[in-house]
A and B are shown apart, each in its own frame.
Chain A
Amino acid sequence: MENINLEGTPKTPTVNFDATKGELELKGRSIPENSVEFYSSLNKWIEDYGKNPKAETQFNVKLEYFNTSSSKCILDLFKLLEGINGNGTDVKVNWYFEEDDEDMEEAGEDYQAIIPLPFKMIEVEEI
């Protein structure tokens, strides 16, 4: 299957979904007015990937900001990953946030509370 490589824009994140490595990355900011248009192809990709996944799948979330419209779409990505976890792959989430950015740290914890996937919270100087 094809990988997804999207360059970031002022309103949408950089996306690197690599099926051969089992590595998925969202990076930058996600503030489109209607996030459904942007995220639907990512949902589709995870569904396809789930049919023949790598033994380990890493989801690296390195977001600076996201709006509330995106927050729901990001939750949907997590739910899809939760669905494939244990079915031929172990899914791990790495949630990156910048030093002192309590809001992004809390956002990661909120997802962690909702989604039963292993989350690792990683504090970095700059995303």
Chain B
Amino acid sequence: MPLRNIYNLYQTMERDNTMLSFKGIVTSDLLSSVLQIMESKLGHVEKSTKTRKKVYNVLVECLQNLYHHNEEVKEENLDPSQSLFSKSALLMISKNEDFYEVKTGNYIEKEKGKILEQKIKSINKLNKQELREMYKDVLNHGTLSNKGTAGLGLIDIARKSGNKLEYSFLPVNDEYSFFCLNVKIN
């Protein structure tokens, strides 16, 4: 990377009011560190406890989605370079005047992407009360996977954020897409 790109990168992050950004593999330790840093930062910049908790909550679920997603990637089918390629993820948190944004990006197998897209579409159709009913229904009738995931993460993110989930699946190759998610929290 040419040196002046460092400055470009700085300016981009400055312009987007980035509070924290990370690209790499989301491990349990990384997750703990990011949460610790963000809790301290939010404590400094956000006066409303309510907003602080909402942002923190959304962040926990987004990070844990990335963490569990990494666990899912079957390494035996991939050569080492591809393994890194598919496990790595992006996380960015920014603070604008009236809202926070949590952005995530990760590679996803196309088939899984289709299922995820259907899920997001069905969540985005619902209003606040309907989301609450959906959450209760999945909570009461769903089962935990052996990884401890409840299928409630995105519903909870939509519920806490109070906004529609903005997303996109960018085609990368025959097997993978890149899944982008942007959660706006007022």
A31: Cβ under 8 A from any B Cβ: yes
A68 nearest CB across to chain B (Å): 4
B54: Cβ under 8 A from any A Cβ: yes
Roughly how many angstroms separate A67 CA and B152 CA in the complex, as a whole number?
9
Interface mask (A7-29 → B, CB under 8 Å = 1, otherwise 0):
00011000000000000000000
How many chain B residues touch A (CB < 8 A): the figure is 33
Cβ 8 A contact of A72, one of B32, B35, B53, B152: B152
Q: Which residue of chain B is the closest to A39 with respect to CB atoms?
A: B148
Q: Which residue of chain B is the closest to A113 with respect to CB atoms?
A: B136
Interface mask (B54-66 → A, CB under 8 Å = 1, otherwise 0):
1011001100100
B59 nearest CB across to chain A (Å): 10
**A contact patch SS:** helix
Cβ 8 A contact of A110, one of B32, B136, B148, B149: B136
Roughly how many angstroms separate A98 CA and B57 CA in the complex, as a whole number?
15
Interface of chain A residues 75 through 127 with chain B (CB within 8 A): 75, 98, 100-103, 106, 110, 113-114
Do B139 and A72 have beta carbons less than 8 Å apart? yes
Roughly how many angstroms separate A67 CA and B157 CA in the complex, as a whole number?
10
Roughly how many angstroms separate A9 CA and B144 CA in the complex, as a whole number?
23
Roughly how many angstroms separate A108 CA and B57 CA in the complex, as a whole number?
16
A45: Cβ under 8 A from any B Cβ: no
Cβ 8 A contact of A69, one of B31, B57, B148: B148
**B contact patch SS:** helix
B50: Cβ under 8 A from any A Cβ: yes
Residues of chain A contacted by B77 (CB below 8 angstroms): none
Residues of chain A contacted by B95 (CB below 8 angstroms): none
B140: Cβ under 8 A from any A Cβ: yes
A58: Cβ under 8 A from any B Cβ: no
B56 nearest CB across to chain A (Å): 7
Do B49 and A68 have beta carbons less than 8 Å apart? no
A61 nearest CB across to chain B (Å): 15
Q: Which residue of chain A is the closest to B154 with respect to CB atoms?
A: A68
Residues of chain B contacted by A101 (CB below 8 angstroms): 49-50, 53
Do B32 and A11 have beta carbons less than 8 Å apart? yes
Roughly how many angstroms separate A115 CA and B67 CA in the complex, as a whole number?
31
Do A31 and B60 have beta carbons less than 8 Å apart? yes
Top 6 closest pairs, chain A to chain B, by CB:
A34-B148, A68-B152, A72-B150, A69-B148, A36-B148, A68-B150
A-side interface residues toward B, CB under 8 Å? 10-11, 31-37, 64-65, 67-69, 71-73, 75, 98, 100-103, 106, 110, 113-114
